[in-house]
Amino acid sequence: MARPNQEQIAAFQRDGVVCLRGVVAPDWVERLRAGVAENMAAPGPMAQDYTDEDHTGRYFGDYCNWRRFEAFRAFAEGSPAAEIAAALTGATHIRLFHEHVFVKEPGTAEATPWHHDQPYYTAEGAQKVSLWLPLDPVAPEVCPRFVPGSHRWEGLFYPRKFRDGADYDYAGDEFRPVPDIDGDKSMTVAWALEPGDALAFHFRTVHDAPANTTQTRRRAIAFRWLGDDVRWRRRPGTPSPPYPDMGLDLEDGAALPDDWFPVMWPQPQSEPLRETG
């Protein structure tokens, strides 16, 4: 598996998103598919179906199950994903924040609303990246769309509910509504993806995900990674994942505890990646 090259690292730093081709080996894709099947058969306490009962298809989401399912744990601990996160962010150590499964079955009408992830999260700092991994071929019209450079926009947008797109009830002057991005699609990017590709994006990068109007399943799993400078940040409402409700509530600026957010890179058994040309 190849380390991101300097052009890809520069693109991530500049745009807040980069498409990495063929960075997940086929055996990992198969293991993650099996893990998603296990997850859907035995949803965790945070699982949600975002599809209305009278709609076709199904939009399933779940997270924080990497301790429950061996495939997710093995990928976080043994794949080069954490080292890829280190290369993109410049961090010397990488922690796992959580994993997040997204499944949109064929004919699913529900779109994921425009948002950025930072306001949901209890992790604050510059060295943060999500690796969104498609487990099925993804056409451009179904691919998550991103606004390049939006990770450098001032302030934070209200987090939004995936079921209906409504804003969370967050108090505070630091939050404002997401702008009308659909009114200017020229400002967005998306890709045709194959299993083995990865979309790497900063927690502050604004994105959405269209409805799945195709006849192909769109299974994906995102792994969220944290670098050296990330510290705990309380939110004015219930964050997602709801770590305070799960038993972890720290003061602002506190270091992240290893038992909740373990360091996944470097590890003594890790095999160094080679850089692509």
Among 55-59, 103-107, 206-210, 251-255, the least confident range: 55-59
How high is the pLDDT of residue 277? 44
Distance between CA atoms of 171 and 188, rounded to whole angstroms? 29
Residue 255 placed within a domain: yes
Confidence of residue 171 (pLDDT cuts 50, 70, 90): low
Residue 212 placed within a domain: yes
Q: Is the pLDDT of residue 262 over 60?
A: yes
Q: Is the pLDDT of residue 172 over 80?
A: no
- DSSP string of 145-176? EE-TTGGGSSSEEPPB-TTT-PBP---STTEE
Q: Is the pLDDT of residue 59 over 90?
A: yes
Residue 239 placed within a domain: yes
pLDDT tens-digit series, residues 74-131:
999 999 999 999 999 999 999 999 999 999 999 999 999 999 999 999 999 999 999 9
Residue 277 placed within a domain: no
Residue 16 placed within a domain: yes
Q: Which two tokens stand for residue 36?
A: 């998603």
How high is the pLDDT of residue 229? 98
How high is the pLDDT of residue 209? 96
Distance between CA atoms of 254 and 222, rounded to whole angstroms? 25
Confidence of residue 267 (pLDDT cuts 50, 70, 90): confident
The whole-number average pLDDT for the span 123-144 is 97
Q: Is the pLDDT of residue 275 over 60?
A: no
Distance between CA atoms of 73 and 79, rounded to whole angstroms? 10
Residue 262 placed within a domain: yes
The whole-number average pLDDT for the span 144-157 is 96
pTM listed for this prediction: 0.94
Q: Residue 163: which domain range? A: 2-271
**Domains identified in the chain, total number:** 1
Confidence of residue 269 (pLDDT cuts 50, 70, 90): low
Distance between CA atoms of 164 and 162, rounded to whole angstroms? 6
Confidence of residue 173 (pLDDT cuts 50, 70, 90): confident
Q: What is the CATH number of the domain that holds 210?
A: 2.60.120.620
Confidence of residue 174 (pLDDT cuts 50, 70, 90): confident
Residue 162 placed within a domain: yes
What are the Cα distances from residue 157, in Å, to 28, 111, 149?
Answer: 34, 18, 15
Residue 276 placed within a domain: no
Distance between CA atoms of 73 and 83, rounded to whole angstroms? 15
